[in-house]
């Protein structure tokens, strides 16, 4: 709450100052020497600091990639942990430059909050987790259940829609942070814990006995999770967008962290344009031409980031599914760099 | 000023005022500075407001209060007034406000009771009672309220059994980690008879009390106020209840597949918040009460004893009325603190005004400036109203000089 108040107070004061400077995010970031990235307060696989304060996750990698493209240094990111209900205020008021915090792209958020939403770095959907001993196989059996959820999320709305549409009764208990939500569920306050499916797997690891809980098969919503920035700064928007597309393109072309130096010698025109040995695509977005080389060298391509954080190489072991490349039956698709 | 200096200073003035330029006249200069300050502050407020609106529009952030009637689309657990997911944001605001008022109102009553008990206990001559009260005050007063709330919430949740192992109590009461379930009274058609009788009984009781006091002041004779009062307030409505054919039944809660169905539910979030606020504020009230009692000089007690009053009436008639004059003003600020602290409900998932309106509604609409302005205005109104009531009470209790 304090944070919101602060942001508003500071916001009201700075909205004035920031007004004319809204198209200047890149210059601000450059002169500050560090990218301020709004991230989750702690969601395994997406954005979480470890004991030493090193942030890891799919969303974290996205921010690191932006920093790599600008500064040629993936560590020049300051992660600002934001709760679900504070995140938009923080972005609007300029507290962060970009918000990559498993945030669902919806029409109202895109059009009414003064924000722009960019590429989807994770296609998700909302699911339910229950205790195994309840012997429930489907969300349709949940009538009368109490449900723990985090407030200020699309989850809260989807939940209400789902139970209303299916004429099921329920009781909602909403908490401000995800930690309090999962703790209350663990303490038995609720029968059901609901959030995005990826989040369910991540939060399950925090429970006292993760194996006593199952995720129900129903996915009740579309949750395209992506990056957001302030409306009106198109140059900054281009950088955020194309950072993700560069990572996807790199995966598509087989350019990885390990082989990117060799790939500089590649004769494939697509690879040459990506790595900046041909054309001036980097300069067109206000960066250097080796912007994508930096991203891949310092962070890796989309597939590598996925595997490391949420996929087979991580504790979450989430299958690529809809997040596979379009050429492999998924939805990840980047417009061509040309 | 001492009277010796006065003639010297006053003497120089004379009948004619010397001509003084207005910037040298302290009075006029005072007005000028007041006006300047007013203009500067006014301009700052105006500039901030117009700039904020201007820039919000420029950044395409929705402004205005149109969102008030839009469909909320989310649910609220505890609601005392009807609310559906299809209700408006405005309706959600009222649900949150009523929840805030509920916890603040009940909290103030219990905190006052507990605070007075602890405050008196701290003055007890019994070593154990005295030290226990002191320990309570010191421990509770010196730890953050937020931690205490989280402690109570987890303590409440962990201590209670799961739904399946609910503690069934006689009379249809169930206790589990979803809350306390009680039979819900269902009022029959003729129940208004009982209500009206109760109201009439209460009025008669107050009238009788006044009459009895007047009589005692006049003649010194006491009347059986308590007995007559009990008869009027309890016996009479009971008679009306049976006379109307017992128009009251109960909706008994019953164990469903997940939860208990029917009945009235008291949520653990509410209990945790209430406990946290009451226990915390009571520690402060206890200190206020102790200070108030100690402010009454010992001579008053001794004088009362000398007149032959026993310790009980001494406390009732001599010490407490005088202590109240000292107690009420700081007590008011404790009430205000409790009301404002109830906004910490968000930490334990209790749907109060801040949780519902400044949390979910703000996030769904994105209109931070409007939502926070409304929320602040509401707390300001509640606080000012509480102060108003307490100031009125204070002026009644204040020393009347005859």
Enumerate residues 6+ apart whose C-beta is below 8 A from A156.
A149, A150, A172, A174, B74, B75, B360
- Interface membership of A156 toward B (CB under 8 Å): yes
The count of domains in chain B is 2
The tens digit of pLDDT for each residue in B126-168 reads 999 999 999 999 999 999 999 999 999 888 777 888 877 788 8
CATH fit for domain A30-124+224-328, picks 3.90.550.10, 3.10.20.440, 3.40.50.970, 3.40.190.10:
3.40.190.10
Beta bridge partners of A80: A38
Residue A79, number of CB atoms within 10 A of its CB: 25
B4's enclosing H/E stretch is none
Is residue A296 within 8 A of residue A64, CB to CB? The reply is: no
Q: What is the per-residue pLDDT for B127? A: 94
Residues B261, B177: one domain? yes
Inter-residue long-range contacts of A322-328, CB under 8 Å, 24+ positions, other chains counted: A322/A123, A323/A122, A323/A123, A325/A248, A325/A251, A325/A252, A327/A252
Predicted confidence (pLDDT) per residue in A230-278, tens digit: 998 999 999 999 999 999 999 999 999 999 999 999 999 999 999 999 9
Give the pLDDT band of residue B15 (cuts 50, 70, 90). Answer: low
Q: What pLDDT score was predicted for residue A229?
A: 95
Do B49 and B139 belong together in one domain?
A: no
* Residue A215 in contact with partner chain B when CB distance is under 8 A: no
Q: Which residue is closest to B356 within chain A, CA to CA? A: A151
Task: Say whether residue A265 is in contact with chain B using an 8 A CB cutoff.
Answer: no
Which pLDDT band, with edges at 50, 70 and 90, does A23 fall under? low
Out of A8, A152, A160, whose CB is closest to B73? A160
Q: Give all strands (DSSP E) within B103-233, no chain letters.
A: 167-169, 173-176, 179-182, 184-187
Max avg pLDDT among A172-176, B101-105, B254-258: B101-105
**A109-A110-A112-A113 Cα dihedral, nearest 10 degrees:** 70
Percent of chain A with pLDDT over 70: 93
Min Cα separation B345/chain A (Å):
10
Chain B residues close to A4, C-beta within 8 Å: 358, 362, 368, 372
Average pLDDT, chain B: 86
**Beta carbons of A85 and B76 less than 8 Å apart:** no
pLDDT score of B7 more than 70: no
Q: Is the ipTM of this complex over 0.90?
A: no
CB-CB under 8 Å, B73 with A151: no
Kindly state whether residues B39 and B175 are assigned to the same domain.
no
Across the interface, do B359 and A12 touch by the CB < 8 Å criterion? no
Which of A:72-101 have CB within 8 Å of B? 84-85, 88-89, 92
What are the angstrom distances between the C-alpha of A112 and each of A6, B60, B61, B64, B359?
21, 7, 5, 12, 17
* Segment A150-174 mean pLDDT: 88
Same domain, B159 and B268: yes
Q: Do the Cβ atoms of B395 and B329 come closer than 8 Å? A: no
Q: Pairing state of beta strands B264-266 and B260-261?
A: unpaired
Per-residue pLDDT of B40-74, as tens digits, reads 999 999 999 888 888 888 777 778 888 899 888 88
Q: Say which CATH architecture domain A126-221 belongs to.
A: 3-Layer(aba) Sandwich (3.40)
- Same domain? For B268 and B334 the reply is yes
Provide the pLDDT for residue B286.
96
**Mutate: best of A176, A212, A229, partner B, most B CBs <10 A:** A176
Shortest distance between the Cα of A140 and any Cα of chain B, in A, equals 13
Tens-digit pLDDT profile for residues A299-323 = 999 999 999 999 999 988 888 989 9
Whether B46 and B126 share a structural domain: no
- CATH 3.40.190.10 range(s) for chain A read 30-124+224-328, 126-221
CATH code for the domain in which residue B369 is found: 1.10.3720.10
Strand segments, DSSP code E, in B150-267 are 167-169, 173-176, 179-182, 184-187, 248-251, 254-255, 260-261, 264-266
Instruction: Name the pLDDT band for B270 (thresholds 50, 70, 90).
Output: very high
| Tens of pLDDT, residues A47-94 | 999 888 899 999 999 999 999 999 999 999 999 999 888 899 899 889
Q: What is the mean pLDDT of residues A34-43?
A: 93
Structural domain including B96 reads: 89-183+252-397
Is B177–A187 a contact, with Cβ atoms under 8 angstroms apart?
A: yes
Answer yes or no: do B256 and B178 share one domain: yes
């Amino acid at each position: 709450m304090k944070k919101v108040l602060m942001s508003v107070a500071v916001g009201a004061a700075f909205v004035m100052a920031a007004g004319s400077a809204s198209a200047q995010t890149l210059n601000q970031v450059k002169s500050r020497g560090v990218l301020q990235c709004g991230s989750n307060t702690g969601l395994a696989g997406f954005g979480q600091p470890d004991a030493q304060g090193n942030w890891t996750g799919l969303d974290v990698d996205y921010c690191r990639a932006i920093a790599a493209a600008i500064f040629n240094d993936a560590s020049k990111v300051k992660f600002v942990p934001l709760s679900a209900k504070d995140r938009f205020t923080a972005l609007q008021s300029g507290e962060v430059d970009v918000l990559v915090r498993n945030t669902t792209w919806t029409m109202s958020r895109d059009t009414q909050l003064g924000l722009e939403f960019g590429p989807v770095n994770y296609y998700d959907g909302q699911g339910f987790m229950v205790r195994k001993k309840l012997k429930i196989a489907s969300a349709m059996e949940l009538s009368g259940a109490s449900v723990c959820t985090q407030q200020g999320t699309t989850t809260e709305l989807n939940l209400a829609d789902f139970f209303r549409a299916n004429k099921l009764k329920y009781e909602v208990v909403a908490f401000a942070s995800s930690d309090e939500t999962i703790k209350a569920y663990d303490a038995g306050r609720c029968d059901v814990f609901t959030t995005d499916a990826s989040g369910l797997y991540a939060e399950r690891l925090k429970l006292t006995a993760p194996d006593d809980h199952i995720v129900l098969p129903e996915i009740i919503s579309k949750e395209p999770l992506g990056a957001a920035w302030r409306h009106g700064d198109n140059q900054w928007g281009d950088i955020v967008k194309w950072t993700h597309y560069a990572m996807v393109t790199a995966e598509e072309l087989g350019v990885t962290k390990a082989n990117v130096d060799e790939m500089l010698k590649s004769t494939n025109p697509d690879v040459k344009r990506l790595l900046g040995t041909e054309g001036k695509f980097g300069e067109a977005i206000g960066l250097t031409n080796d912007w994508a080389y930096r991203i891949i060298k310092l962070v890796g391509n989309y597939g590598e980031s996925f595997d490391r954080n949420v996929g087979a190489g991580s504790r979450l072991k989430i299958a690529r599914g809809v997040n596979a490349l379009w050429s492999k039956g998924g939805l990840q698709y980047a417009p061509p760099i040309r | 000023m001492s009277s010796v200096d006065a003639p010297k200073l006053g003497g120089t003035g004379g009948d004619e005022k010397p001509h003084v330029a207005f910037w040298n006249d302290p009075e006029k200069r005072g007005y000028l500075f007041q006006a300047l300050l007013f203009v500067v502050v006014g301009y700052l407020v105006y500039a901030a407001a117009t700039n904020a609106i201007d820039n919000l529009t420029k950044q395409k952030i929705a402004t205005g209060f149109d969102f008030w009637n839009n469909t909320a689309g989310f649910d609220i657990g505890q609601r005392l007034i009807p609310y559906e997911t299809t209700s408006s944001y405005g309706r959600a605001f009222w649900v949150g406000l009523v929840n805030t008022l509920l916890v603040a109102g009940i909290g103030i009553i219990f905190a006052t009771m507990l605070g007075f008990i602890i405050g008196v206990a701290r003055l007890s001559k019994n070593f154990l009672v005295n030290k226990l009260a002191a320990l309570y005050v010191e421990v509770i007063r010196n730890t953050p309220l937020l931690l205490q709330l989280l402690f109570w919430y987890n303590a409440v949740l962990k201590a209670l059994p799961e739904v399946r192992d609910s503690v069934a109590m006689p009379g249809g009461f169930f206790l589990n980690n979803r809350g306390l379930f009680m039979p819900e009274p269902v009022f029959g058609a003729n129940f208004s008879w009982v209500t009206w009788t109760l109201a009439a009984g209460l009025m008669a009781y107050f009238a009788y009390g006044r009459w009895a006091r007047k009589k005692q002041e006049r003649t010194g004779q006491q009347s059986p106020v308590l007995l007559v009062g009990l008869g009027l307030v309890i016996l009479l409505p009971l008679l009306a209840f049976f006379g109307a054919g017992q128009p009251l039944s109960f909706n008994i809660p019953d164990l469903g597949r997940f939860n208990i169905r029917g009945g009235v539910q008291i949520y653990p979030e509410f209990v945790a918040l209430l406990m946290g606020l009451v226990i915390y504020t009571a520690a402060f009230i206890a200190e206020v009460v102790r200070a108030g009692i100690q402010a009454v000089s010992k001579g008053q007690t001794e004088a009362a004893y000398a007149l032959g009053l026993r310790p009980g009436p001494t406390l009732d008639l001599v010490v407490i009325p005088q202590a109240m004059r000292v107690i009420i003003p700081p007590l008011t600020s404790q009430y205000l603190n409790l009301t404002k602290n109830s906004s910490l409900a968000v930490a334990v998932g209790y749907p109060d005004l801040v949780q519902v309106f400044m949390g979910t509604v703000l996030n769904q609409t994105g209109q931070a400036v409007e939502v926070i302005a409304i929320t602040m205005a509401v707390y300001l109104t509640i606080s000012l109203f509480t102060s108003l009531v307490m100031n009125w009470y204070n002026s009644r209790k204040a020393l009347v000089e005859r």
